[in-house]
Chains A and B, each alone.
Chain A
Amino acid sequence: MRNLFNFRNPEKSIATKLIIAIGLLISIVSLIFWYAILQKQKMDVMSIAVKYGGSFVNFTKESIHHSLLTSQRDETQRVLETLATPEGVRRVRIYDHKGKILFCSHKKSVGQIIDKATVACKGCHVDPGKSSELLQNPQRWSVYRENSGPTLLKIVGPIPNEPDCYTASCHVHSREQGILGFVEADVSLALLDEAVFKQGLALTAYVIVFVFAVSAFLGIIIYKIVSRPVSELVDGMAQVAGGNLDASVSIKSGDEMGVLAQTFNSMIRDLKAARDQREKWTQTLEAEVAKKTEEIQRTHANLMQTEKLASLGRMAAGVAHEINNPLTGVVTFAHLLKKRFPSDSTEAEDLNVIIEQAERCSKIIKNLLTFARATPSEKGKVSINDVLSRTIFMVQNQEKFHHIKFNINLEDYQFIILGDPSQFQQIFLNMFINAADAMNGRGNIFVSTRKTTESGKPYVEIEFTDEGCGIKEEDMPKLFEPFFTTKPVGKGTGLGLSVSHGIVKHLGGHIKVKSVVGKGTTFFVRLPLAEEAR
């Protein structure tokens, strides 16, 4: 009930207004009913009292019939005195048509004239002064009250003339007389008063209880179906306004409140969904921005790296070029010296070693220059098997490949392709370095070549298989992207495969990958064979 009455502005709440209005209505209606019932009861009681009063008057007439006929005045008086009691019949008297009291239970008032303004005369006569004019509906009783006493019923009964009266020997009454006199009784209604009063009290109590019960009942009903749902809704709205979109209103009723609550809940749900969507967008956007930023940073770092590598390559090329000059001297003079000795002499053999080693130096420099990509492309007929063998030979001498076994299976065929040998060397070198990196420098590399045809044209397929870590499914699409690398900065630039892909595509071929994470990777490089070579 707290909410019902303490709710914001209590004097303005619907519940309060409703309760006041309905309470007022009920009170007024109850009051009207209360009054009507009370009146009706009074009338009922009164009509019973009148009925009994009438019987009493008749009984009195019967009782005194004989004594009147026999003119025993004392006897009549005595009967009347006996009939009167303080609680019941207060007074009973007989008076004639002129108002003179003939007998009375209060003996002292005998002979007095009655008050003509009372029902004694007014019961039948319009004007007690002119006895002839009669009321159309005579009411021969009235209720009155003597100061602070109980309610009294005054009832009058006429004593009609009858043969015994006007034929009696006393000749008091003539035959023409219609009414000889009246019996008037004053009956105390104290008991009835009390009963009515008690009933009134009870009724009042009932009405009050009823009003309260109905009001309380209404209050509860209103609280249940209006106030509480409304305050819940308001609470919910306040929560939503405060930003809590997890709020919901738990009104299950099937009425308008329930519908309102459901609509409200679905509105919150929509709001929440919208907000979640927005938050998700924001998050994805942030993540996207972060990713892009990282990519840019990485690309930048890689560019720097490439730049560094490129300048390193240029430097290496320059150094290599310079070394070629002294090497020329070494080779020339060794040869010159060798000519002075017989070819089977130890000196000649020693000089041969010098020459061989100098030539090895020159080879290393050539490979270094190839790797530094300082060699511009020149197109020519290239034998794939030759370039492969040369590259493998070159790679085997490097420390990185000391613990790697090469399993070579080249098809005995002259795979001639028009291109730059250094570019092929570059592709193969990158394959071997990637394989060695994936195997951490230990394991088997399988290299094979075979002839295939693709849409009717002859191709060479070069297969590189390693037993390395494999490539994750999610990395597959990015493999040939420039700068995609999983290797630490400084180790991989992520250019190897992208450059290879570029070269192979340019020549009309393609590269395919098969990989099982943890088992190994196979790259298939397919290149179309040159026209003349077919």
Chain B
Amino acid sequence: MKKVLVIDDEAIVRTSCERALTPEGYEVKAVSSGKEGVELLQKESFALVLLDLKMPDMDGIEVLNKINETWPDTKVVMITGYSTVETAVQALRLGAYNFIEKPFTPDTLLAAVTEVFEKTNQGGAEDRDIKRDSGNP
């Protein structure tokens, strides 16, 4: 299963991601804060995290650092507003896989997500995910 976690404080963004990705065969879970996201990541593993840069409680960059440290196999795609391009660039340097700008179309999102799975999850990563998946329930 291609598991995607969406962390965004905006409900509409979360829903948009769910609705855009689910029909394409992705298992999407969404939380509204970085804290919740980290908690959920501790419980189950995700191949991809769609992470909003700007959030009230925990900054996107912080969450990114935490994910990189704790779950190095989990890829992160940042969601940014136009005004935070530089932060997005910084995020890329810090280990984010890619970024997409808001507002995005379902196709752009899908393209970005598909790219992640196609390029990196062809081999062991997915397997490992599955193993961990199966080991955890």
Tell me the A residues contacting B by CB distance below 8 Å: 317, 320-321, 324-333, 335-336, 355, 358-359, 362, 365-366, 369, 374-376, 378
* CA of A330 to CA of B105, assembled, Å: 9
| Contact between chains at A330 and B103 (CB < 8 Å) | yes
Chain B 1-40 near chain A by CB (<8 Å), digits 1 or 0 = 0000000001011011101100000000000000000000
Summarize A's interface: helix, strand, loop or mixed.
helix
* CA of A374 to CA of B86, assembled, Å: 11
> Top 10 nearest A-B pairs by Cβ distance?
A329-B12, A332-B16, A327-B103, A324-B102, A321-B81, A328-B103, A325-B10, A376-B86, A335-B106, A324-B81
The listed residue (A321, A326, A359, A369) touching B54 by CB distance below 8 A is A321
| Contact between chains at A331 and B83 (CB < 8 Å) | no
| Contact between chains at A331 and B103 (CB < 8 Å) | yes
| Contact between chains at A374 and B83 (CB < 8 Å) | yes
B104 at interface by CB-CB < 8 Å = yes
| Contact between chains at A375 and B83 (CB < 8 Å) | yes
| Contact between chains at A332 and B83 (CB < 8 Å) | no
* CA of A320 to CA of B101, assembled, Å: 13
What's the least CB distance linking A476 to chain B, in Å?
36
B85 at interface by CB-CB < 8 Å = yes
What's the least CB distance linking B10 to chain A, in Å?
4
| Contact between chains at B16 and A328 (CB < 8 Å) | yes
What's the least CB distance linking A426 to chain B, in Å?
15
B125 at interface by CB-CB < 8 Å = no
Instruction: Assess A329 versus B83: contact at CB under 8 Å? Given A321-B54, A324-B102, A362-B103.
Output: no
| Contact between chains at B16 and A375 (CB < 8 Å) | no
What's the least CB distance linking A367 to chain B, in Å?
10
Summarize B's interface: helix, strand, loop or mixed.
helix
* Residues of chain B with a CB closer than 8 A to A358's CB: 103
What's the least CB distance linking B131 to chain A, in Å?
33
B71 at interface by CB-CB < 8 Å = no
* Residues of chain A with a CB closer than 8 A to B109's CB: 332
B20's nearest neighbour on chain A, judged by CB, is A332
Chain B 84-97 near chain A by CB (<8 Å), digits 1 or 0 = 11100100000000
What's the least CB distance linking B37 to chain A, in Å?
17
| Contact between chains at A375 and B85 (CB < 8 Å) | yes
Besides A324-B102, A336-B20, A378-B89, 9 more A-B contacts (Cβ < 8 Å) are: A320-B82, A321-B84, A328-B16, A330-B103, A332-B106, A335-B20, A335-B106, A358-B103, A376-B86
B107 at interface by CB-CB < 8 Å = yes
* CA of A298 to CA of B16, assembled, Å: 50
The listed residue (A321, A325, A327, A328) touching B83 by CB distance below 8 A is A321
| Contact between chains at A333 and B103 (CB < 8 Å) | no
What's the least CB distance linking B132 to chain A, in Å?
30
| Contact between chains at A336 and B81 (CB < 8 Å) | no
What's the least CB distance linking B62 to chain A, in Å?
19
| Contact between chains at A325 and B82 (CB < 8 Å) | no
What are 9 A-B residue pairs whose CB atoms fall within 8 Å in the complex?
A: A317-B83, A325-B12, A331-B16, A331-B106, A332-B16, A332-B104, A336-B20, A336-B106, A375-B83
* CA of A324 to CA of B85, assembled, Å: 14
* Residues of chain B with a CB closer than 8 A to A331's CB: 16, 103-106
| Contact between chains at B83 and A333 (CB < 8 Å) | no
B107's nearest neighbour on chain A, judged by CB, is A335
* CA of A369 to CA of B104, assembled, Å: 17
| Contact between chains at B106 and A375 (CB < 8 Å) | no
* Residues of chain B with a CB closer than 8 A to A362's CB: 103
* Residues of chain B with a CB closer than 8 A to A365's CB: 82
| Contact between chains at B13 and A329 (CB < 8 Å) | yes
* Residues of chain B with a CB closer than 8 A to A369's CB: 82-83
A316's nearest neighbour on chain B, judged by CB, is B83
The listed residue (A328, A374, A375) touching B104 by CB distance below 8 A is A328
A318's nearest neighbour on chain B, judged by CB, is B83
* CA of A146 to CA of B12, assembled, Å: 165
